[in-house]
A and B are shown apart, each in its own frame.
Chain A
Amino acid sequence: MVYTQSPLAIGLFFMFVLGVLGISFYFARRGSSAESYYAAGGNIHWFTNGIAFAGDYLSAASFLGITGMIATAGYDGFVYAVGYLAGWMVALFLVAEPMKRLGKYTFTDALDAKFNSKGIQLMAAISTLVVSIFYLIPQMVGAGTLVTPLMGLPHYAGVIIVGIVVTIIVATAGMASTTYVQFLKGALLIIFSTVLCGAILNRGLSTAPNQGGTKEYHKFVTLNADESASGDLQLADSSYSVAANWKSSAFGEGGFVMLTKEGAESIWHINENPEGGYLLEETLYTTELADGTKLYNGAEAEKGKFFAVGHMKEVIVNGQSVVETGALGPLDYLRAMQNSTVVLWGKKYVHDGDKKFTIYYQKPTPGSKVLRAGLKFKVDNATTTQKLNYISLMLALFCGTAALPHVLIRYYTVPSQAAARKSTIVAIAAIGFFFIMTLIMGLGAMTNGVLNITDSNMSTPLVALSFGVILFSIISSIAFSTVLGTVSGLIVAASGAVAHDLMNNFLGLKMTDKGMVMAGKLSAVVIGLIAIYLGIIFEGMNVSFLVGWAFAIAASANLPAILMILFWKGTTAKGVATSIGVGIVSSLGMILLSPDMYVRYGLLPTDAPTSLNNPGIISIPLSFLTLVIVSLLTRKDIVPELDAEAAEA
């Protein structure tokens, strides 16, 4: 895809970044104590904290990933939104108030409040670091993805910009600045997403989306062809030529054929014609040459031969077939989608000699299938493992939210348990409203002729671009500040784990208040550099896939410990420490040995020792079981309950 940079977009981007830095420096002058750095002094208003929760949570994965997944796989992207939001009920009903009661600066504080155990301090700090770093990677990759269309910079430049800006933010002011940055960003995100949804509904659905009359949609060509008695492919349009071995070639075996017209090659998807012969449908494809060069529809990206896609094959409103619907309300929009047919895009890989082709072909799909599970996750006629994979993912999403360290530390920024509860409710309202809008935004991106088929993460900014450069500029800048804010929160959580949990508590380096803040800031710089490095080397990796890892690890390592400490008096320090360790090792191990990872290693997925891609269904119960067994075996270690004030406060 070729993007044209807009001075307005670049100007707005710099305005956002400078605004974020301004807030950061302002709060840096207001407080330098450990309470200020790690917990914003515990004085944030619950409403501000609730919107900041939403800002933290609506990360690149939510804002870019979910909408992008809905744009390419329909309802299967939306179930991520449902799972993420449902996880907040675990946070509200079970975790919010006790976390506020028990903790001070970090998630480890809450786990260790009862025991003062070196084992818990070490394992919880490692868990915080591992989860934070796994959550950081997709944010940095998302940043790199955004700067290409926004500023025309390469991926690594975006990663470095985010890394430097965030490290400056965190190394200057800590939790107070990240809270206000997240508040601002969360509020803007919801406001402008509402504007975008309104624009999408106002435009409605069309079989030839022309972006409000500003851009003509690509006219897809279909060719008629017959197979002669000798096996040659005879095309109705004689301006195309085809190789004699079309059927036995690598393309033919994949269901495609390469045609040549005036020296230019193109790949076509072969479909049986109900009236006899074949119908050849136009495809989009990328080619990776032996020297690593990548071509788009047979030419360099700069030539602009690779075009945006996304349209309705047929639009049905009130039983009538129409070309376009005009403005629709949200329910009518969903009804029209339900009754119509959308052209989605399948993907196949073909190796021809030393060239690797990725071919995207049209897949007309009834709206009734788009708006239910099954396009991304196999649930129809699925094997038990495929069903378990789906259930395991939904379990990890449900259990992961209340175990994410950067979410949990936000409970320390408010003044009371009631404020912790109320801020969670504000977060649920804001996040829930946004997640419902992702359905409209995703379907809008699916059907407005804006999709970059090679990178679904860009769907939201690109559908905004179809409504003009101003909305695109604002949405892209918000998306970028989304990454800034989330990365800030993650680095605060991770630096707290290093400075407070590992250095101060576990290693016993009794630091002064100022010393601990300095240690936290230095840790933030080091973690920032690690995040920049990982963001660059993980370029191109699926953002949602990586976030799924972070949720599974957090749910396996942290949630059993949190819940059992709160609800089972028989829990011992050794039980907690062992369960965190088993949770990290089992979830991480299963991910690294999963079929999806084997594909990334260049191996066959069938060779993977486990057939599950999502470890939660095994690793979460295993972590619970470990905690119970080890606690029962070490019951003599149980210490008296918290002192009365801490327990009852």
Chain B
Amino acid sequence: MGHGPAVKLGKDNASPYKAALGVKMFFAYTFVYAVFVALNSLSPATMEITFGGINLAVIYGVGLIVLALIMAVIYNIACCKAEARLNK
């Protein structure tokens, strides 16, 4: 059995752009996640601060999940545009 993709893939000139964008967005998200872990482990009392009756721990945790979706959608839009532009 040879190697290579299960289906024949076309040439993708947008790959370098998408990879570079992915790395940048990965580091941005990782930073936000790292702050979350640091606050929970090093300063848990900070997470008790409330905003509108909801504490920071819940807002930050749910926020990380929502942020993941928002960043994923932005990434997809940017990738789709790059594919349309570079793979004409």
Chain A 404-423, CB within 8 Å of chain B: the 1/0 string? 00000000110111100110
Chain A 372-409, CB within 8 Å of chain B: the 1/0 string? 11100001101000010011001100100000000000
Are the CB atoms of A648 and B13 closer together than 8 Å?
yes
Contacts of B54 in A (CB 8 A): 331, 334-335, 338
Are the CB atoms of A646 and B41 closer together than 8 Å?
no
Are the CB atoms of A101 and B5 closer together than 8 Å?
yes
Report the minimum CB–CB distance from B41 to chain A (whole Å). 5
**Could you tell me which residues of chain A, from 553 to 570, have a CB within 8 Å of some CB in chain B?**
566-567
Interface size class on chain B is: 35 or more
Are the CB atoms of B71 and A42 closer together than 8 Å?
no
Are the CB atoms of B41 and A113 closer together than 8 Å?
no
Contacts of B44 in A (CB 8 A): 372-374, 379-380
User: Which single residue of chain B is at the shortest CB-CB distance from A398?
Assistant: B33
Contacts of A88 in B (CB 8 A): 68
We find that the number of chain A residues with CB closer than 8 angstroms to chain B is: 78
Quick check: is A2 within 8 A (CB to CB) of the other chain?
A: no
Are the CB atoms of A412 and B5 closer together than 8 Å?
yes
Cα A90 to Cα B1 with chains together (Å)? 29
Contacts of B33 in A (CB 8 A): 86, 89, 398
Are the CB atoms of B72 and A92 closer together than 8 Å?
yes
Chain B 42-86, CB within 8 Å of chain A: the 1/0 string? 101101101011110110011011101101110110011001000
Are the CB atoms of A428 and B68 closer together than 8 Å?
yes
Are the CB atoms of B57 and A116 closer together than 8 Å?
no
Report the minimum CB–CB distance from B79 to chain A (whole Å). 6
Cα A199 to Cα B18 with chains together (Å)? 43
Chain B 1-32, CB within 8 Å of chain A: the 1/0 string? 11111110111110100110011011001100
User: Which single residue of chain B is at the shortest CB-CB distance from A429?
Assistant: B69
**Given A93-B22, A94-B22, also A116-B3 (CB < 8 A):** yes
**Given A100-B5, A368-B48, also A432-B37 (CB < 8 A):** no
Report the minimum CB–CB distance from A342 to chain B (whole Å). 15
**Given A368-B55, A372-B57, also A101-B9 (CB < 8 A):** yes
Quick check: is A78 within 8 A (CB to CB) of the other chain?
A: yes
Report the minimum CB–CB distance from B16 to chain A (whole Å). 9
Quick check: is A155 within 8 A (CB to CB) of the other chain?
A: no
Quick check: is A34 within 8 A (CB to CB) of the other chain?
A: yes
Are the CB atoms of A415 and B7 closer together than 8 Å?
yes
Contacts of B13 in A (CB 8 A): 648
Are the CB atoms of B64 and A82 closer together than 8 Å?
yes
Are the CB atoms of A421 and B76 closer together than 8 Å?
yes
Query: Of A102-110, A272-280, A542-550, which binds chain B?
Result: A102-110
Contacts of B10 in A (CB 8 A): 416, 649
Residue in A94, A380, A429 whose CB lies within 8 Å of B23: A94
**Given A112-B3, A649-B11, also A78-B26 (CB < 8 A):** no
Are the CB atoms of B1 and A104 closer together than 8 Å?
yes
Residue in B5, B50, B62, B68 whose CB lies within 8 Å of A104: B5
Cα A113 to Cα B57 with chains together (Å)? 43
Contacts of B25 in A (CB 8 A): 89, 93
Are the CB atoms of A75 and B23 closer together than 8 Å?
no
Instruction: List residues of chain A with CB under 8 Å of any chain B CB.
Output: 34-35, 38-39, 41-43, 75, 78-79, 81-82, 85-86, 88-90, 92-94, 97-98, 100-105, 109, 112-113, 116, 331, 334-335, 338-339, 368, 371-374, 379-380, 382, 387, 390-391, 394-395, 398, 412-413, 415-418, 421-422, 424-425, 428-429, 432, 435-436, 439, 500, 504-505, 511, 516, 566-567, 645-646, 648-649
A/B interface sample: 25 pairs, CB < 8 A: A42-B6, A86-B64, A89-B33, A97-B19, A97-B22, A98-B19, A101-B12, A104-B6, A109-B3, A338-B53, A368-B48, A368-B55, A371-B57, A371-B58, A373-B47, A379-B44, A394-B37, A398-B33, A413-B6, A416-B9, A416-B10, A432-B68, A439-B62, A516-B1, A649-B5
Instruction: List residues of chain B with CB under 8 Å of any chain A CB.
Output: 1-7, 9-13, 15, 18-19, 22-23, 25-26, 29-30, 33, 36-37, 40-42, 44-45, 47-48, 50, 52-55, 57-58, 61-62, 64-66, 68-69, 71-73, 75-76, 79-80, 83
In the A-B complex, list the 6 residue pairs whose CB atoms are closest, starting with the nearest: A42-B7, A93-B22, A335-B53, A93-B26, A42-B6, A39-B6
